[in-house]
Structure 1
Amino acid sequence: MILLPPALLQIIVDAAEAAYPEECCGLLVGHGEGRGDLTVTGVEPSPNMAGGKRFEVSAQLRFDVMRALEGGPMRIVGHYHSHPDHAAAPSPRDLEMAWEPDLVWLITSVMDGRAAQTTAHIPLSDGSGFGELKLISNGETS
Protein backbone atom coordinates (compact mmCIF):
# COMPACT_ATOMS: atom_id res chain seq x y z
CA MET A 1 0.00 0.00 0.00
CA ILE A 2 1.16 3.52 -0.83
CA LEU A 3 -0.16 6.46 1.16
CA LEU A 4 0.14 9.65 -0.92
CA PRO A 5 -1.23 12.91 0.53
CA PRO A 6 -3.63 14.68 -1.88
CA ALA A 7 -1.40 17.79 -2.14
CA LEU A 8 1.52 15.65 -3.34
CA LEU A 9 -0.68 13.77 -5.80
CA GLN A 10 -1.82 17.14 -7.15
CA ILE A 11 1.81 18.19 -7.74
CA ILE A 12 2.31 15.05 -9.83
CA VAL A 13 -0.96 15.51 -11.74
CA ASP A 14 -0.14 19.16 -12.47
CA ALA A 15 3.34 18.20 -13.72
CA ALA A 16 1.92 15.44 -15.92
CA GLU A 17 -0.60 17.80 -17.50
CA ALA A 18 1.98 20.57 -17.97
CA ALA A 19 4.44 18.20 -19.68
CA TYR A 20 1.85 16.77 -22.08
CA PRO A 21 2.39 15.50 -24.76
CA GLU A 22 5.81 14.67 -23.31
CA GLU A 23 6.42 12.62 -20.15
CA CYS A 24 7.08 14.19 -16.76
CA CYS A 25 9.10 12.46 -14.05
CA GLY A 26 10.43 12.81 -10.54
CA LEU A 27 11.29 11.07 -7.30
CA LEU A 28 9.09 9.99 -4.39
CA VAL A 29 10.50 10.52 -0.89
CA GLY A 30 9.06 8.85 2.17
CA HIS A 31 9.37 6.04 4.66
CA GLY A 32 8.21 2.49 5.16
CA GLU A 33 9.36 -1.08 5.15
CA GLY A 34 10.97 -2.12 1.87
CA ARG A 35 8.29 -3.40 -0.45
CA GLY A 36 5.56 -3.13 2.17
CA ASP A 37 3.49 -0.19 3.31
CA LEU A 38 5.00 3.13 2.26
CA THR A 39 4.12 6.72 3.07
CA VAL A 40 5.17 9.40 0.59
CA THR A 41 6.16 12.63 2.36
CA GLY A 42 7.63 14.54 -0.57
CA VAL A 43 7.98 14.65 -4.34
CA GLU A 44 11.04 15.93 -6.16
CA PRO A 45 10.20 16.95 -9.74
CA SER A 46 12.96 16.27 -12.25
CA PRO A 47 13.70 17.59 -15.68
CA ASN A 48 13.06 14.75 -18.11
CA MET A 49 16.54 13.90 -19.35
CA ALA A 50 15.20 11.53 -22.04
CA GLY A 51 12.56 13.75 -23.62
CA GLY A 52 9.77 12.56 -25.86
CA LYS A 53 7.55 9.73 -24.75
CA ARG A 54 10.21 8.26 -22.48
CA PHE A 55 11.56 9.42 -19.16
CA GLU A 56 14.81 9.60 -17.28
CA VAL A 57 15.20 11.26 -13.88
CA SER A 58 18.17 13.60 -13.58
CA ALA A 59 21.14 11.78 -12.04
CA GLN A 60 22.19 15.03 -10.37
CA LEU A 61 18.76 15.43 -8.76
CA ARG A 62 18.85 11.87 -7.50
CA PHE A 63 22.33 12.36 -6.06
CA ASP A 64 21.29 15.63 -4.38
CA VAL A 65 18.17 14.06 -2.86
CA MET A 66 20.10 11.02 -1.61
CA ARG A 67 22.70 13.29 -0.02
CA ALA A 68 20.01 15.46 1.64
CA LEU A 69 18.27 12.37 3.06
CA GLU A 70 21.44 10.63 4.26
CA GLY A 71 21.29 9.65 7.92
CA GLY A 72 17.62 10.56 8.31
CA PRO A 73 14.45 8.51 8.50
CA MET A 74 13.36 9.33 4.93
CA ARG A 75 14.58 7.72 1.72
CA ILE A 76 13.77 7.58 -1.96
CA VAL A 77 10.85 5.14 -2.12
CA GLY A 78 10.12 5.40 -5.83
CA HIS A 79 9.63 7.61 -8.80
CA TYR A 80 6.76 8.90 -10.85
CA HIS A 81 6.22 9.54 -14.51
CA SER A 82 3.38 10.13 -16.91
CA HIS A 83 2.03 8.15 -19.84
CA PRO A 84 0.70 10.60 -22.45
CA ASP A 85 -2.34 9.13 -24.22
CA HIS A 86 -1.69 5.69 -22.71
CA ALA A 87 -2.94 3.76 -19.71
CA ALA A 88 -1.53 4.21 -16.21
CA ALA A 89 0.11 0.80 -16.45
CA PRO A 90 3.79 -0.11 -16.82
CA SER A 91 4.96 -0.38 -20.40
CA PRO A 92 7.50 -2.88 -21.76
CA ARG A 93 10.03 0.00 -21.71
CA ASP A 94 9.25 0.58 -18.01
CA LEU A 95 10.01 -3.09 -17.33
CA GLU A 96 13.37 -2.76 -19.12
CA MET A 97 14.20 0.17 -16.81
CA ALA A 98 13.13 -1.53 -13.56
CA TRP A 99 16.60 -2.15 -12.10
CA GLU A 100 15.73 -1.39 -8.48
CA PRO A 101 13.18 -3.90 -7.20
CA ASP A 102 12.29 -1.96 -4.05
CA LEU A 103 11.30 1.28 -5.80
CA VAL A 104 7.66 2.06 -6.47
CA TRP A 105 6.60 3.16 -9.95
CA LEU A 106 3.81 5.74 -9.81
CA ILE A 107 2.27 6.29 -13.25
CA THR A 108 -0.20 9.00 -14.25
CA SER A 109 -2.15 8.53 -17.45
CA VAL A 110 -2.78 11.78 -19.35
CA MET A 111 -5.44 11.67 -22.07
CA ASP A 112 -5.77 14.69 -24.37
CA GLY A 113 -3.88 16.84 -21.87
CA ARG A 114 -5.92 15.89 -18.78
CA ALA A 115 -4.81 13.48 -16.07
CA ALA A 116 -7.06 10.44 -16.11
CA GLN A 117 -5.69 7.99 -13.53
CA THR A 118 -2.69 7.42 -11.27
CA THR A 119 -1.61 3.94 -10.25
CA ALA A 120 1.25 2.45 -8.22
CA HIS A 121 3.34 -0.58 -9.15
CA ILE A 122 6.37 -2.48 -7.93
CA PRO A 123 8.63 -4.78 -9.96
CA LEU A 124 8.10 -8.49 -9.35
CA SER A 125 11.09 -10.14 -7.70
CA ASP A 126 11.66 -12.41 -10.71
CA GLY A 127 11.80 -9.45 -13.11
CA SER A 128 8.90 -10.73 -15.20
CA GLY A 129 6.62 -7.74 -14.71
CA PHE A 130 5.04 -5.49 -12.12
CA GLY A 131 2.56 -5.99 -9.32
CA GLU A 132 -0.01 -3.28 -8.70
CA LEU A 133 -0.03 -1.66 -5.27
CA LYS A 134 -3.00 -0.07 -3.57
CA LEU A 135 -2.66 3.72 -3.78
CA ILE A 136 -4.45 5.69 -1.08
CA SER A 137 -4.79 9.46 -1.26
CA ASN A 138 -7.09 11.14 1.28
CA GLY A 139 -8.92 7.92 2.00
CA GLU A 140 -9.63 7.24 -1.69
CA THR A 141 -8.21 4.08 -3.23
CA SER A 142 -6.89 3.82 -6.76
Structure 2
Amino acid sequence: MAIELPQQQIERIREHGQETYPNECCGVLLGKEQDGRKVVLEILPLKNARDDSPRNRFLILPEDILHSDREARRRGLEIVGFYHSHPDHPARPSEFDREHAWPWYTYLILAVEKGHPKELTAWLLSDGRSFFPEEMRIAGDGNTKQISSTPSGSSSAATL
Protein backbone atom coordinates (compact mmCIF):
# COMPACT_ATOMS: atom_id res chain seq x y z
CA MET A 1 0.00 0.00 0.00
CA ALA A 2 1.11 3.57 -0.67
CA ILE A 3 0.10 6.90 0.78
CA GLU A 4 -0.50 9.92 -1.41
CA LEU A 5 -0.83 13.48 -0.18
CA PRO A 6 -0.75 16.98 -1.67
CA GLN A 7 2.31 19.18 -1.20
CA GLN A 8 0.07 21.67 0.65
CA GLN A 9 -0.64 19.09 3.38
CA ILE A 10 3.05 18.20 3.62
CA GLU A 11 3.84 21.88 4.15
CA ARG A 12 1.18 22.13 6.87
CA ILE A 13 2.76 19.19 8.71
CA ARG A 14 6.20 20.79 8.39
CA GLU A 15 4.85 24.12 9.71
CA HIS A 16 3.16 22.37 12.64
CA GLY A 17 6.44 20.67 13.57
CA GLN A 18 8.29 23.98 13.40
CA GLU A 19 5.64 25.80 15.48
CA THR A 20 5.64 23.25 18.31
CA TYR A 21 9.42 22.75 18.50
CA PRO A 22 11.04 21.74 20.85
CA ASN A 23 7.96 19.64 21.64
CA GLU A 24 6.47 16.95 19.43
CA CYS A 25 3.55 17.92 17.24
CA CYS A 26 0.80 15.48 16.31
CA GLY A 27 -2.26 15.26 14.10
CA VAL A 28 -4.62 13.13 12.09
CA LEU A 29 -4.58 12.29 8.37
CA LEU A 30 -8.04 12.32 6.76
CA GLY A 31 -8.71 10.77 3.38
CA LYS A 32 -9.91 7.70 1.54
CA GLU A 33 -8.60 4.35 0.46
CA GLN A 34 -8.65 4.23 -3.35
CA ASP A 35 -7.18 1.71 -5.77
CA GLY A 36 -4.90 0.13 -3.18
CA ARG A 37 -3.55 3.38 -1.78
CA LYS A 38 -4.46 5.85 0.94
CA VAL A 39 -5.18 9.32 -0.40
CA VAL A 40 -4.84 12.10 2.19
CA LEU A 41 -7.14 15.01 1.46
CA GLU A 42 -6.92 16.91 4.74
CA ILE A 43 -4.97 16.97 7.97
CA LEU A 44 -6.20 17.90 11.41
CA PRO A 45 -3.40 19.32 13.56
CA LEU A 46 -4.00 18.45 17.21
CA LYS A 47 -2.58 19.56 20.53
CA ASN A 48 -0.02 17.21 22.04
CA ALA A 49 -1.78 16.33 25.29
CA ARG A 50 1.36 14.83 26.84
CA ASP A 51 2.20 16.78 30.01
CA ASP A 52 5.13 14.80 31.39
CA SER A 53 7.46 14.53 28.37
CA PRO A 54 6.15 16.44 25.31
CA ARG A 55 9.68 16.80 23.89
CA ASN A 56 9.96 13.10 23.13
CA ARG A 57 6.41 11.74 23.39
CA PHE A 58 3.01 12.67 22.08
CA LEU A 59 -0.50 11.87 23.20
CA ILE A 60 -3.72 12.22 21.24
CA LEU A 61 -6.64 12.10 23.64
CA PRO A 62 -9.47 9.63 22.92
CA GLU A 63 -11.94 12.50 22.63
CA ASP A 64 -9.71 14.10 19.97
CA ILE A 65 -9.74 10.85 17.98
CA LEU A 66 -13.54 10.64 18.31
CA HIS A 67 -13.91 14.28 17.22
CA SER A 68 -11.54 13.65 14.28
CA ASP A 69 -13.51 10.55 13.25
CA ARG A 70 -16.80 12.47 13.39
CA GLU A 71 -15.28 15.30 11.36
CA ALA A 72 -13.93 12.83 8.80
CA ARG A 73 -17.33 11.14 8.42
CA ARG A 74 -19.05 14.52 8.11
CA ARG A 75 -16.76 15.25 5.16
CA GLY A 76 -17.19 11.79 3.62
CA LEU A 77 -13.65 10.79 4.64
CA GLU A 78 -12.01 8.48 7.16
CA ILE A 79 -8.95 8.53 9.38
CA VAL A 80 -6.17 6.95 7.32
CA GLY A 81 -3.28 7.75 9.62
CA PHE A 82 -1.50 10.00 12.05
CA TYR A 83 1.56 12.23 12.02
CA HIS A 84 3.98 13.45 14.65
CA SER A 85 7.40 15.02 14.88
CA HIS A 86 10.70 13.90 16.38
CA PRO A 87 12.49 17.05 17.61
CA ASP A 88 16.26 16.67 17.20
CA HIS A 89 15.88 12.95 16.43
CA PRO A 90 15.61 10.95 13.20
CA ALA A 91 12.30 10.45 11.43
CA ARG A 92 12.20 6.78 12.44
CA PRO A 93 9.67 5.06 14.71
CA SER A 94 10.78 4.78 18.30
CA GLU A 95 10.02 1.83 20.55
CA PHE A 96 7.36 4.03 22.18
CA ASP A 97 5.84 4.66 18.74
CA ARG A 98 5.75 0.93 18.04
CA GLU A 99 4.15 0.10 21.38
CA HIS A 100 1.34 2.62 20.84
CA ALA A 101 0.66 2.27 17.11
CA TRP A 102 -2.25 0.48 15.44
CA PRO A 103 -1.97 -1.73 12.33
CA TRP A 104 -3.25 -0.46 8.95
CA TYR A 105 -2.87 3.24 9.76
CA THR A 106 -0.07 5.25 8.19
CA TYR A 107 2.34 6.99 10.57
CA LEU A 108 4.16 10.01 9.14
CA ILE A 109 7.17 11.07 11.19
CA LEU A 110 8.82 14.46 10.70
CA ALA A 111 12.37 15.11 11.90
CA VAL A 112 12.75 18.68 13.20
CA GLU A 113 16.37 19.71 13.75
CA LYS A 114 17.03 22.85 15.82
CA GLY A 115 13.57 24.13 14.95
CA HIS A 116 13.79 23.41 11.22
CA PRO A 117 11.65 20.69 9.60
CA LYS A 118 13.72 18.13 7.73
CA GLU A 119 12.98 14.56 6.67
CA LEU A 120 9.40 13.22 6.54
CA THR A 121 8.96 9.44 6.46
CA ALA A 122 5.96 7.09 6.17
CA TRP A 123 5.51 3.85 8.12
CA LEU A 124 3.00 1.04 8.62
CA LEU A 125 2.75 -1.31 11.58
CA SER A 126 2.44 -4.98 10.70
CA ASP A 127 0.15 -7.37 12.54
CA GLY A 128 3.37 -8.74 14.06
CA ARG A 129 3.99 -5.30 15.67
CA SER A 130 6.96 -4.31 13.48
CA PHE A 131 7.13 -1.09 11.49
CA PHE A 132 7.89 -1.23 7.79
CA PRO A 133 8.20 1.54 5.21
CA GLU A 134 5.25 2.77 3.23
CA GLU A 135 5.68 4.29 -0.21
CA MET A 136 4.83 7.99 -0.19
CA ARG A 137 3.69 10.02 -3.18
CA ILE A 138 3.02 13.72 -3.68
CA ALA A 139 -0.24 14.41 -5.50
CA GLY A 140 -1.12 17.59 -7.33
CA ASP A 141 -2.58 19.01 -10.53
CA GLY A 142 -3.49 15.56 -11.81
CA ASN A 143 0.11 14.39 -11.50
CA THR A 144 1.59 12.13 -8.87
CA LYS A 145 5.28 12.17 -7.96
CA GLN A 146 6.73 9.11 -6.26
CA ILE A 147 9.13 9.87 -3.45
CA SER A 148 12.36 7.97 -2.93
CA SER A 149 12.01 5.08 -0.52
CA THR A 150 15.56 5.45 0.78
CA PRO A 151 15.95 8.07 3.51
CA SER A 152 19.35 9.33 4.52
CA GLY A 153 21.28 6.66 6.34
CA SER A 154 18.63 3.98 5.84
CA SER A 155 16.85 1.89 3.28
CA SER A 156 13.73 1.37 5.32
CA ALA A 157 11.26 4.19 4.68
CA ALA A 158 9.79 6.52 2.15
CA THR A 159 11.12 10.02 2.61
CA LEU A 160 10.50 13.62 1.60
Q: How many residues align?
A: 139
Residue aligning to 1:125 = 127
Superposed, 1:11-90 pairs within 5 Å as: 11-32=12-33, 36-50=36-50, 51-70=54-73, 73-90=76-93
Contact 2:55 2:87 in 1 (8 A): no
Contact 1:82 1:109 in 2 (8 A): yes
The secondary structure found in structure 1 opposite 2:103 is coil
CA distance, structure 1, for counterparts of residue 113 and residue 71 of structure 2: 35
Residue aligning to 1:2 = 3
Task: List runs of 5+ in structure 2 lacking aligned partners.
Answer: 140-144, 148-158
Structure 1, residues 118-141: CA drift from partner, whole Å, max 9, x if none? Answer: 0100001211x2010111124251
Q: TM-score normalised to the size of structure 2?
A: 0.80
Higher Cα Rg, which structure = 2
Shift of residue 67, structure 1, vs aligned partner: 1.7
Q: TM-score normalised to the size of structure 1?
A: 0.90
Which one scores higher on RCO, CA 8 angstroms, separation ≥ 6?
Answer: 1
Structure 1 segments of 4+ aligned residues over 2 angstroms from their partners:
58-61, 68-73
Specify the code of the residue in structure 1 equivalent to 2:38. L
Give % identity.
31
Task: List runs of 5+ in structure 1 lacking aligned partners.
Answer: none
Shift of residue 91, structure 1, vs aligned partner: 0.5
Query: RMSD value over aligned CA atoms?
Result: 1.8
